[in-house]
A and B are shown apart, each in its own frame.
Chain A
Amino acid sequence: MHIVDGALSNPVLIGGGAIAAAGVAYSLKKLEPEDLPRVGVLSAVFFVVSLIHVPLGFSSVHLILNGLLGIILGWTAFPALVVALLLQAVFFGFGGLTVLGVNTVNIAFPAVMVFFICRWGITAQQQNLAKLVADMLFAIFFLLSIWAGVSLYDAYQVEGATWRVSVNSISLALFALVMIYGYVLYRRKTLSVAGFWGFLGGSLSIFFTAVMVAISLALSGDEFAKAAEFVIVAHFPIMAVEGILTAATIQLITKVKPELINAVR
């Protein structure tokens, strides 16, 4: 997830840096003093959460939680992530200083996308419309990710490494199971509409991040299919886990402290 120094070509590094700088500048313009504590705390959350490797087998799979960051922070996810990624690079050698821009864009841009896609659903007054759109989005996302997984599954078989095939199919099956389970929970109203939007947002953000990492690797000369298959498949379990975590968090927030989400500009 964190791309390391030396893996990307210079144009990609410069482009990523420029986009990240633009994003940070834009969000700093929107930033109000009373937003800062929230930004700081969520920055610290990201810093810690991506350090602690959950014993999830896929040891690269630490939590990212950029969906949650996006939903709560919106555009201000950019400065939060820059600070956290910078400190991770300096303290632990995660990523690196030259790839800071690319990593920031890869994580923060999906967060902002999720903000625009999902925050509407979380705060929507018209519950029925929010439900309808959530159903549609779920169907599209589910089919898209399963299609991506299956087409990558073929790519693995061509490569002929059997253990990878088994890992891939298991993670894909688990992902599908968790997604369906989340949908059932939502249908049975254990998960509120806002919670389900959080579920979608948490999963979507990781999917976008994986795709963006794959693209930035592909632009640097790695053949896209190979890079994408590594990165996207490795992120399937985390897509499931983050969906559940974000759903639980958003559901709790909307019940206990709804102003945390409504305060976002």
Chain B
Amino acid sequence: MLFGKLKFATLLFVSSLVLGFYSNAWAHKVISAAYPDGDLIEGEIGFSNGDMAKNLLVEVFDSEDNKLGETTTDEEGFFVFTATKKVDHIFRANLSAGHVATLTVTADELPDDLEGGSVASTPSSQEAVSSEEGVVTQSNLSDTKLVMIDQAGLEKLVSKTSKEVRSLRKELAQYKEERRMQDILGGIGYILGIFGIASFLLGRFKTTKGV
């Protein structure tokens, strides 16, 4: 027979394979993350299949819904926003078709020297650095071990560390999105449990009503 059952199964398989070559942007879940780095807030928006949201308008609001500004994502779904106030930053992007990304960077993740932060200690320490012409000397230790780092070295160190932290944060965000087997099994367990209890209660209720 031309249209036998084997062919039926084959068609199903082939059609799924053919479709498999096409990827699109209507992925199921929006993944987004923001990483504050000094007064810069970097973030990325994409879908759970790895597609990033390109050239997307991201609007920035504070916690009282006042608009702080807006930015757009680049080709890789990254956006950068420079914070000017030490308030909660809420990033919103509409990816259409029911996909909305919302990110929050809380005020205490931002540096203190921004407007609205506690600025008491910051200027003095800056002064100290600049007065020594970019050289920080720590000689107050009792064993008189001298540690000297020049400005460039310090900056290099900081940028290296923040890069590492950023990649760690990215990994963490990815890890959070992962669905694990035990979650799925747990969900099935919950469902069976809920219906088991419902069945028990309903059975008791109906029989007592019958008596």
Q: Identify the A interface with B (CB < 8 A).
A: 1-8, 31-33, 36-37, 39-40, 43-44, 47-48, 51, 53-60, 62, 83-84, 87-88, 91-94, 164, 167, 170-171, 174, 177-178, 181, 184-185, 188, 190, 213, 217, 222, 226-227, 230-231, 234, 237, 240-241, 244
- Classify chain B: how many residues form its interface, as a range: 35 or more
Nearest-neighbor residue (CB-CB) of B2 within chain A: A188
Q: A44-B192, A178-B15, A227-B97 are in contact. List 19 more A-B contacts (CB 8 A).
A: A3-B98, A33-B206, A40-B192, A40-B195, A43-B195, A51-B187, A53-B28, A54-B16, A57-B23, A57-B24, A58-B24, A59-B23, A83-B194, A83-B195, A87-B191, A91-B187, A167-B24, A177-B15, A241-B12
Picked from B100, B179, B192, the residue with its CB within 8 Å of the CB of A6 is B100
A56 B19 Cβ-Cβ under 8 A: yes
Stretch of B3-11, B64-72, B80-88, B142-150 on the interface side:
B3-11
Closest to A46 in B: B191
Contact status B22-A4, CB under 8 Å: no
24 A-B contact pairs sorted by A residue (CB < 8 Å): A4-B99, A7-B98, A7-B99, A7-B100, A37-B199, A39-B195, A40-B194, A47-B191, A59-B47, A59-B49, A83-B195, A87-B187, A87-B191, A181-B3, A181-B11, A185-B8, A188-B3, A190-B5, A226-B96, A227-B98, A230-B26, A231-B97, A240-B15, A244-B12
The residue on A at minimum CB distance from B176 is A93
Cα A232 to Cα B71 in complex, Å, equals 30
